[in-house]
């Protein structure tokens, strides 16, 4: 599958965003897409059952280093998304990305700049990025 070009996606979003030009509309649509994504994941657990969430306190030895965290922490997920749930969640994440891009466009912050800046920050800070 070819890699998506953020420049092309930004242009597409800019040209097809018709109804939600107001920053207030975009903010509420972005929040709605976040909720719909969360709901789709919850439905994969509660309605379909293709995945399970087995959450508990994550054990961390007191002498563990930051480099060791990945081997101690879990996603809490068991199973694999079925084709149907994956399609639904992919669709919802796509809508979410559309409205993130639209927010960036209207605020004059191009998606590619956001991606480049975040990528650079993550690479620079490495494992210390999210502590």
Question: Which helix (H) or strand (E) is 57 found in, with range?
Answer: none
State both tokens at 44: 């994969």
pLDDT of res. 1? 63
**pLDDT, tens digit, for every residue of 85-121?**
999 999 999 999 999 999 999 999 999 999 999 999 8
> How many angstroms separate the most distant Cα atoms in the chain?
55
Closest CA to 93 of 82, 104, 105, 101: 101
Domains and CATH numbers, the chain: 6-128 (1.10.287)
Question: For 17, how many CA atoms within 13 A lie in the half-sphere containing its CB?
Answer: 25
Give the separation between CA 7 and CA 2, rounded to whole angstroms.
14
Q: Is 21 helix (H, G, I), strand (E, B) or coil?
A: coil
């Amino acid at each position: 599958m070819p890699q998506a070009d953020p420049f092309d996606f930004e242009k597409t979003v800019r040209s097809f965003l018709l109804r939600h030009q107001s920053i207030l509309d975009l903010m509420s649509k972005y929040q709605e897409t976040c909720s719909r994504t969360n709901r789709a994941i919850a439905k994969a657990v509660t309605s379909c059952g293709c995945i399970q969430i087995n959450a508990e306190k994550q054990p961390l030895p007191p002498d563990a280093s930051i480099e060791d965290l990945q081997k101690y922490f879990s996603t809490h997920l068991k199973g694999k998304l079925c084709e149907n749930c994956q399609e639904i969640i992919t669709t919802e994440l796509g809508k979410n990305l559309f409205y993130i891009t639209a927010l960036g466009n209207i605020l004059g912050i191009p998606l590619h700049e956001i991606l480049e800046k975040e990528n650079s920050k993550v690479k620079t800070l490495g494992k210390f990025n999210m502590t």
